[in-house]
A and B are shown apart, each in its own frame.
Chain A
Amino acid sequence: MKDDSKDLTEKAPHGITRKEALQKMGKYAAFTVMGTFVILNPKKAQAQSADPGAGLDAPGTDDPGSDDPGGATPPIPPGWGG
Chain B
Amino acid sequence: MIALEEKFLVNILYRPASEILNGVDINTINFEKLITLTSGHLMLPALFFNIQKKKATYLFPEDFIDYIKGIYAINKARNEILLEEAKELSELLVEHNIKHIFLKGTALLLSNVFEDIGERMIGDIDFIIQHKDEEKIKKVLKYNNNCKSEKLNLWRLFKPTHLPKLVRENKTIAIETHLELLEPKHRWIFNSKVLSNYFNEELKTIKTPTTSFLFDHCIYALQIRDKGFFIPYHGHRSIYDIYKLDCKNSLKINNIKKDIFKKHFFITIEKFNIFNLRLPSSFWSIYQDKILRFLTIASFKILTVIERNSNKILILIQLLCNNELRKRALNKIRIHYHHKTLLNYTYRWLIG
Write the residues of chain A forming the contact surface with B, with a CB cutoff of 8 angstroms: 25-29, 31-33, 35-36, 38-42, 58-61, 65, 68-70, 72-82
Contacts and interface: CB of A to CB of B under 8 A. Distances in A.
Contacts of B123: 38-39, 42, 79, 81-82
Contact of B39 (A33, A61, A69): A33
Contacts of B70: 25, 59-60
A67 to B, nearest CB: 11
A42 B236 CA distance: 21
Interface string B162-185: 000000000000101000000000
18 contacts: A29-B67, A32-B71, A35-B39, A36-B39, A38-B123, A40-B74, A59-B70, A60-B74, A70-B33, A78-B226, A79-B225, A80-B218, A80-B237, A81-B105, A81-B122, A81-B218, A81-B237, A82-B123
Nearest to B40: A74
Given A81-B104, A82-B123, A36 B32 contact: no
B45 to A, nearest CB: 9
B41 A74 contact: yes
Contacts, number: 117
Given A79-B226, A81-B105, A82-B104, 7 more contacts: A31-B36, A38-B123, A40-B71, A42-B123, A70-B32, A76-B42, A80-B225
- Mostly, the B contact residues are helix
- Mostly, the A contact residues are loop
